[in-house]
Amino acid sequence: MSTDLQIVEVGPRDGLQNEPEHVSPHVRAELVRRLAGTGLRRIELGSFVDGRRVPQMAEVETVVAEAAVGQGVTLSALVLNPRGYERLREAPVPEVHLAFCSTETFNQRNQGRSVGQSVEEANALIASAHADGRRVSVTLAASFGCPFEGEVDPGVPVALAHRLEAPDEIIFADTIGVGSPRQVTALLRGAEGLGIPLGLHLHNTRNTGYANAYQALEHGVSVLDASVAGLGGCPFAPGATGNIATEDLLYLLEREGVDTGVDLDAVLEVAAWVTRLLRRDLPGQLGRAGRFP
């Protein structure tokens, strides 16, 4: 079982981006600061996308400016194209997150280009970011299943991973929450020859997210994305719940003897705060059930 594991907190981006509420950039920056105070060492603070199309991510530069965090915390942001990277280039964000879909239909609908074009664009952006001294993480969305094409053979995202030129890590995403532990094994085994850290981005739509996380641990995964209080969801999966909840994942890891260096009680406080902020129940379970013992 992997004991050298990094948790990437994606609530301020993938969580809030899919919420119906539009949270101000000042409050999003406060969320980042609160999360940084828990011991989480990697936080995705937002995305450099068109605020008219994704109003939840508008004014991301304000979030960057106000999200002052201490040493040892790495902030990252998502970009989807060269225009987004040019905006990020002007910001003190040391880690770039790139993403595209593993299936043609989803990628055309989500990013308006073929998968092949997205691979080429990603490779160009990796080169630009590395030249600027930034680290790059690439997420392959819909690696487990597609809302339009159905089942995705694990060989498809693995082959795409091999076409990427020198990313610092690759994340396989169960974007619509359909995956199983068997698929986790196939993906991680298929990509282990890449020789770089591998991770998973899991949604708990069909209540398999934590089983998949546990399976990944047994295969030595390096990175698991999670979202405080289970924020988020996928707009392409009707009724979808959000990402696996950071606090629920941390409870599982703690009970399995994996030391992440994160203060679970502090994360629970942030989960309670964001639940009050959004004025409704969120999918995370530990905040309702409580710790044990």
Distance CA 101, CA 171 (A): 12
110 in a structural domain? yes
Domain assignment present for residue 198? The answer is yes
Catalytic residues: 234
> If you write DSSP's letter for every residue of 122-142 in order, what string do you get?
HHHHHHHHHHTT-EEEEEEET
Tell me whether residue 13 is in a domain.
Answer: yes
**Among 24, 5, 25, 28, CA closest to 15:** 28
Structural domain count of the chain: 1
- 3-class secondary structure, 201: strand
Provide the pLDDT for residue 4: 80
The backbone torsions φ and ψ at residue 205, rounded to the nearest 5 degrees and listed phi first, read -55, -40
Q: Which two tokens stand for residue 195?
A: 């020789």
Q: Are residues 243 and 280 in contact, defined by beta-carbon separation less than 8 angstroms? A: no
Query: What is the pTM (predicted TM-score) of this model?
Result: 0.96
Residue 88 lies in a domain: yes
Angle at 60 between CA 83 and CA 176, to 5 degrees: 80
* Domain that includes residue 225, residue range: 6-289
The CA distance from 218 to 1, in Å, is 4
Maximal C-alpha separation, the chain: 51
Residue 165 within any structural domain of the chain: yes
Q: Is residue 1 part of a domain?
A: no
Q: Which of 33, 96, 24, 23 is nearest to 67 (CA)?
A: 33
> Is 140 inside a domain boundary?
yes
- Find out whether 291 and 264 touch, Cβ atoms under 8 Å: yes
- Cβ neighbors of 142 (< 8 A, separation 6 or more) are 101, 102, 103, 106, 152, 173, 175, 176
Whether 266 maps to a domain, the answer reads yes
CATH for 72? 3.20.20.70
Q: Please tell me the predicted confidence (pLDDT) of residue 236.
A: 66
Q: What is the pLDDT along the chain (293 residues), one digit of tens a residue?
A: 656 899 999 999 999 998 888 999 999 999 999 999 999 999 999 999 999 989 999 999 999 999 989 899 999 999 999 999 999 999 999 999 999 999 999 999 999 999 999 999 999 999 999 999 999 999 999 999 999 999 999 999 999 999 999 999 999 999 999 999 999 999 999 999 999 999 999 999 999 999 999 999 999 999 999 999 999 977 666 667 789 999 999 999 999 999 999 999 999 999 999 999 999 999 999 999 999 99
